[in-house]
Chains A and B, each alone.
Chain A
Amino acid sequence: MSTKKWIGLALVALALLALPLVLTSVGTAWVRITNLAILFIFLALGLNIVVGMAGLLDLGYIAFFAVGAYVYALLASPHFGLHLPFWVILPLGALFAGMAGAILGAPTLRLRGDYLAIVTLGFGEIVRIFLNNLSQPFNITNGPKGITRIDGLNIAGMDFVNTHTLFGIPFTGPAKYYYVLLILLLLVIVVNLRLQKSRIGRAWVAIREDELAAKAAGINTRNMKLLAFAMGATFGGIAGGMFSAMQGFVSPESFILHESILVLAMVVLGGMGNVWGVIAGAMLLSFVPELLRYTVDPVQQMLFGKLLIDPEVLRMLIFGGALVLTMRFRPAGLWPESRHKLEMSENRS
């Protein structure tokens, strides 16, 4: 890399490191919003492995998020009186989610892609039904009330609730989560990028492009698809664990179909398969609704004197519309895979 690139990279890193401190001065709420956005980028990159690279339409991705979240919540809350450390339960949640993915994928992956879509869609609902009802006769999930007072992260004796002052700079709880999330995000980006340029990643893209030819070229398509599916689920599980720790509260309501669609919309809008595109798509769909929340409401109040369109509805309309319009006008996404760009530059020369 050139010096210029290094300087650019250093500036970006600095900006990312300073971001929560700046945001805290605007309002801690914005740090929380940013944290959730990072979590969704993380989720989108996990789903990108499944949908973007391997071309498997997973419509119940949020269910794996739920598995991770509940594993964390159950093992680190007063609900069962268990308080295991996060470095045990976060991986455990990821493992469970990955296993759930493999179990669900095994019977359906040998069928056509659309069946996988509908089965995952159903699975997402089923997980929610179980979470809602597994409070009887033995109280496992505490039903619709959810699980409260979940332990936050605690690294080397430093809790993530109180504000700590380091070098004269106060770090709030959300700010600390921000840094952990940033590290995780970096991790998933590296994983995505490296897989993409590997034997495994090529096999996935080959399956996405032409499954039959991939088979004939010697790829064990079933295992490769299962691997992609389970890996995506694993990342979902990690994100779920972080969600539990950050929020301190989980209930089945957080894991509805809409959330799966939201993550899918991020992947699709940004550009399936392209890591940076997915990140951009996820940021766009995370922040735009928040901005709308702060603009559309006052504008409506001003114009009509009342709220005509709930920002939540608007948010969903944007996601649904984004899916439809992207497929119609830019099926490769706003920022398509670099291979396409490469093609355009080739044509020019």
Chain B
Amino acid sequence: MEIFVQQIINGLTAGSVYALVALGYTMVYGIIQLINFAHGEVVMIGGMVALTVITTLVGMGLPLPPIVLVLAGILAAIPICMALGYLLERAAYRPLRHAPRLAPLITAIGMSMVLQQVALLIWGRDPKAFPQIMENKSFIIAGASITSVQIAIILMSVLIMATLTWFVYRTRFGIAIRATAENVNVAALMGVDANRTIAATFVIGAGLAAVAGVMYGTYYGITHYTMGFMLGLKAFSAAVLGGIGNLAGAMLGGILLGLVEALGAGYIGEFTDLCRWPLVDGLLVERCANGGHVVLFGSNYQDVFAFMVLILVLVFRPSGLLGERVSERA
């Protein structure tokens, strides 16, 4: 039971990060039907920038409270990532808006590679420890512990998602975004500047990515130039799970994926322990003796779950939980 609650808490935390990243994928996809492969790298850059800012501030020895340090990190990461998002759209994707489908996709994968290498040049090849400056108090709930960092991450992402929803559904600009997603040409006729709206979508997504990058760094205590890849893949899976192009879907998908992954990692070892399978036990008498285990798949397969979810969704419900049909238009 404790394991269950603990994994739920861990899953919610990771899921909150996934949800923020997934929003970036889903918004861009919703508006120009592009999988922005480089989005994961934007998250990574966000984490790296925050790390540099925080480390520098700490190094200066100013008597700043930890929360200010983290906020400074986030506030530095957001504009840099936003600029990066804008640059990506402007320089790489916009010129290809009317090109065949493969072209922007290939560009996206190329940009992702370039960004990774640039990050490698700036921040080095080795993983960097994210300064653990936040006081990490633990609270006990139903036998499981939840840390203040986890609480902060969950609350913050809820707040951001609420703000985003308000922005998209209640402001003029949000309406422009939704109109463009519905039909670029019609929106343009109604006076919506499509270029500006699409660029804004990238910028907003990149801003969310920056926050997610800082969260990731704070939570896992580490940043690495390749971290964006898996995170991006998972967040995209989350967006597909929720129904790509759908904001609520991305949030739901992110949280669900976090939970699936955490529970999966928590229990897969137990389920695939051959010593618990009566028949096999007989064959492995020696290795199972004295409470031994023969675990087929341990928690090191955690990264596989997101992918499994992705495949299963695509096979059984390609439109995702909340999405519309995704099949080719006639």
Q: Which residues of A contact B (CB under 8 A)?
A: 51, 55, 57, 59, 107-108, 111-115, 117-119, 121-123, 125-126, 129-130, 132-133, 136-137, 211-212, 257-258, 261, 264-265, 268, 309, 313, 316-317, 319-324, 326-328, 331
Contact: A112 with B327, CB < 8 Å?
yes
In this complex, what residue of A is CB-closest to B114? A320
CB distance from A260 to the nearest CB of B (A): 9
Summed over the interface, the residue pairs from A and B with CB atoms below 8 Å come to a total of 135
Residue among A108, A115, A137, A317 with the most chain B CB within 10 A? A137
**A317 to B122, alpha carbons, bound, how many Å?**
14
Contact: B107 with A111, CB < 8 Å?
no
**A27 to B35, alpha carbons, bound, how many Å?**
45
In this complex, what residue of A is CB-closest to B96? A327
Contact: B106 with A112, CB < 8 Å?
no
Surface stretch bound by A, among B55-63, B151-159, B204-212, B303-311 = B303-311
* Contact indicator per residue, chain B 127-159, by CB within 8 Å of chain A (1) or not (0): 000000000000000000000000000000000
Contact: A323 with B105, CB < 8 Å?
no
**A81 to B278, alpha carbons, bound, how many Å?**
31
Shortest beta-carbon contacts, A-B, top 7: A323-B110, A320-B113, A320-B114, A324-B110, A122-B307, A107-B315, A137-B294
Q: Say whether, besides A107-B315, A117-B35, A118-B233, A319 and B113 are in contact (CB < 8 Å).
A: yes
**A108 to B296, alpha carbons, bound, how many Å?**
28
In this complex, what residue of A is CB-closest to B275? A137
**A117 to B35, alpha carbons, bound, how many Å?**
9
CB distance from A86 to the nearest CB of B (A): 31
Contact: B101 with A268, CB < 8 Å?
no
Q: Say whether, besides A107-B314, A316-B117, A122 and B110 are in contact (CB < 8 Å).
A: no
Contact: A121 with B233, CB < 8 Å?
yes
**A258 to B118, alpha carbons, bound, how many Å?**
15
Contact: B96 with A126, CB < 8 Å?
no
In this complex, what residue of B is CB-closest to A108? B314
**A268 to B48, alpha carbons, bound, how many Å?**
31
Interface residues of B in 147-206 (CB under 8 A from A): none
Contact: A320 with B328, CB < 8 Å?
no
Q: Say whether, besides A123-B307, A261-B113, A324-B111, A136 and B233 are in contact (CB < 8 Å).
A: no
When distances are taken between beta carbons in the complex, the residues of chain A under 8 Å from B118 are: 317
Contact: A113 with B96, CB < 8 Å?
no
Instruction: Answer yes or no: B300 CB below 8 A from chain A CBs.
Output: yes
Q: Say whether, besides A114-B35, A121-B233, A129 and B301 are in contact (CB < 8 Å).
A: yes
Contact: B274 with A264, CB < 8 Å?
no
In this complex, what residue of B is CB-closest to A261? B113
**A347 to B311, alpha carbons, bound, how many Å?**
47
Contact: B102 with A55, CB < 8 Å?
yes
Contact: B236 with A323, CB < 8 Å?
no
When distances are taken between beta carbons in the complex, the residues of chain A under 8 Å from B279 are: none
Interface residues of B in 48-105 (CB under 8 A from A): 92, 95-96, 99-105
Instruction: Answer yes or no: B223 CB below 8 A from chain A CBs.
Output: no
When distances are taken between beta carbons in the complex, the residues of chain A under 8 Å from B240 are: 115, 118
When distances are taken between beta carbons in the complex, the residues of chain B under 8 Å from A132 are: 300
When distances are taken between beta carbons in the complex, the residues of chain B under 8 Å from A317 are: 113-114, 117-118
Contact: B326 with A313, CB < 8 Å?
no
Q: Which residues of B contact A (CB under 8 A)?
A: 33-35, 37, 92, 95-96, 99-107, 109-114, 116-118, 120-121, 229-230, 233, 236-237, 240, 274, 287, 293-298, 300-301, 303-304, 306-307, 310-311, 314-315, 318, 326-328, 330
When distances are taken between beta carbons in the complex, the residues of chain A under 8 Å from B111 are: 320, 324
CB distance from A336 to the nearest CB of B (A): 13
**A57 to B120, alpha carbons, bound, how many Å?**
27
Contact: A117 with B105, CB < 8 Å?
yes
A114-B33, A321-B114 known; 14 new pairs, CB 8 Å cut-off, are A107-B315, A114-B101, A117-B35, A118-B233, A118-B236, A125-B229, A125-B303, A137-B274, A268-B106, A317-B117, A319-B110, A321-B110, A326-B106, A331-B103
**A132 to B300, alpha carbons, bound, how many Å?**
10
CB distance from A252 to the nearest CB of B (A): 13
Residue among B113, B294, B296, B304 with the most chain A CB within 10 A? B113
Q: Say whether, besides A212-B328, A331-B100, A257 and B296 are in contact (CB < 8 Å).
A: no
**A113 to B314, alpha carbons, bound, how many Å?**
12
CB distance from A250 to the nearest CB of B (A): 20
When distances are taken between beta carbons in the complex, the residues of chain A under 8 Å from B237 are: 122
| Candidates A125, A316, A328; contact of B230 at CB < 8 Å | A125
When distances are taken between beta carbons in the complex, the residues of chain A under 8 Å from B318 are: 111, 115
| Candidates A113, A211, A324; contact of B114 at CB < 8 Å | A324
When distances are taken between beta carbons in the complex, the residues of chain A under 8 Å from B314 are: 107-108, 111, 115, 119
Residue among A55, A118, A265, A268 with the most chain B CB within 10 A? A118
Contact: B301 with A133, CB < 8 Å?
yes
A-B contact pairs, 13 of them (CB 8 A): A57-B102, A111-B327, A115-B240, A118-B35, A125-B229, A125-B307, A126-B304, A133-B297, A136-B295, A137-B274, A211-B328, A316-B117, A328-B107
**A320 to B121, alpha carbons, bound, how many Å?**
15
In this complex, what residue of B is CB-closest to A121? B233
In this complex, what residue of B is CB-closest to A272? B102
When distances are taken between beta carbons in the complex, the residues of chain B under 8 Å from A212 are: 328, 330
**A257 to B298, alpha carbons, bound, how many Å?**
23
**A261 to B37, alpha carbons, bound, how many Å?**
12
When distances are taken between beta carbons in the complex, the residues of chain A under 8 Å from B105 are: 57, 113-114, 117
Residue among A117, A130, A132 with the most chain B CB within 10 A? A117
**A309 to B121, alpha carbons, bound, how many Å?**
7
CB distance from B272 to the nearest CB of A (A): 9
In this complex, what residue of B is CB-closest to A209? B100
In this complex, what residue of A is CB-closest to B273? A137
When distances are taken between beta carbons in the complex, the residues of chain A under 8 Å from B34 are: 114
CB distance from A243 to the nearest CB of B (A): 22
Contact: B113 with A264, CB < 8 Å?
no
When distances are taken between beta carbons in the complex, the residues of chain A under 8 Å from B100 are: 331
**A323 to B110, alpha carbons, bound, how many Å?**
5
**A112 to B318, alpha carbons, bound, how many Å?**
10
When distances are taken between beta carbons in the complex, the residues of chain A under 8 Å from B327 are: 111-112
| Candidates A115, A122, A320; contact of B117 at CB < 8 Å | A320
CB distance from B294 to the nearest CB of A (A): 4
